[in-house]
């Protein structure tokens, strides 16, 4: 009976370790920016700074999973604020890369701030952008 209990406990520990490793591997931060004409001001989010955890790679990956613009030329501008990167303009559902410039690649698990803003939204239209940053 004690052997069975020990085996069950060991399996439980193994499952917990595997699930914690899976959670640690997905370090992506979701973003959601939106503007809608006529919506209350507390609904509209036209700019926000997101804190992400560096992966040790030479770039930050921004994946746009949803983009809708009622404005011709509407897009999202994004750039790291505490590390030097190239700015990007998100204007469709695809993957974008912000490459660290020079010798500024942060080590793994360091916090990086990414500022994102809606650009060219007009009060009579709407602009929505969602996705992940890692």
* Residues 25-80: tens digit of each pLDDT: 446 899 999 999 888 888 999 999 999 999 999 999 999 999 999 878 899 999 99
The answer to whether position 22 is within a domain reads no
Residues in CB range of 45: below 8 A, 6 or more apart: 32, 33, 34, 35
Residue 110 within a domain: yes
Among 7-16, 53-62, 102-111, the range scoring the smallest mean pLDDT is 7-16
| Domain total of the chain | 1
Distance of alpha carbon 35 from alpha carbon 131, whole angstroms = 16
Residue 118 C-alpha from the chain's centroid: 15
State the CATH number of the domain containing residue 98: 2.60.120
- Domain holding 83, by residue range, is 27-133
Please, is 57 exposed, middle or buried when counting C-beta atoms within 10 Å of its C-beta (0-12, 13-18, 19+)? middle
DSSP assignment string, 44-75? -B-EEEEEEE--SSSEEEEEEEEEEESSTT-E
**How does residue 21 score in pLDDT terms, banded at 50, 70 and 90?**
very low
Per-residue pLDDT of 81-101, as tens digits, reads 999 999 999 999 999 999 999
20 belongs to a structural domain: no
5-34: average pLDDT = 58
For residue 1, what pLDDT is reported? 55
Q: Binning pLDDT at 50, 70 and 90, where does residue 102 land?
A: confident
Considering only residues 92 and 16, tell me which one the structure prediction assigns the higher pLDDT.
Answer: 92
* Residue 82 resides in a domain: yes
What number is the average pLDDT over the span 106-129? 90
pTM over 0.85: no
Cα separation of 88 and 79, whole Å?
7
Q: Report d(CA 71, CA 120) in Å as an integer.
A: 7
Residue 35 lies in a domain: yes
Assess if residue 5 is contained within a domain.
no
């Amino acid at each position: 009976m004690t052997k069975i209990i020990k085996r069950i406990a060991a399996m439980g520990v193994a499952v917990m370790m595997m699930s914690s490793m899976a959670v640690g591997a997905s370090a992506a931060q979701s973003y959601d920016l939106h503007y809608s004409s006529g919506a209350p001001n507390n609904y509209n989010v036209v700019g926000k700074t997101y804190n992400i955890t560096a992966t040790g790679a030479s770039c930050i990956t921004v994946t746009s999973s949803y983009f809708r613009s009622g404005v011709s030329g509407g897009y999202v501008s994004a750039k790291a604020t505490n590390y030097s990167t190239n700015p990007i303009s998100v204007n469709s559902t695809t993957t974008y890369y912000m490459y660290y410039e020079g010798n500024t690649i942060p080590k793994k698990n360091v916090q990086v701030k990414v500022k994102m803003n809606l650009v060219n939204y007009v009060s009579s239209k709407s602009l929505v952008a969602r996705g992940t940053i890692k």
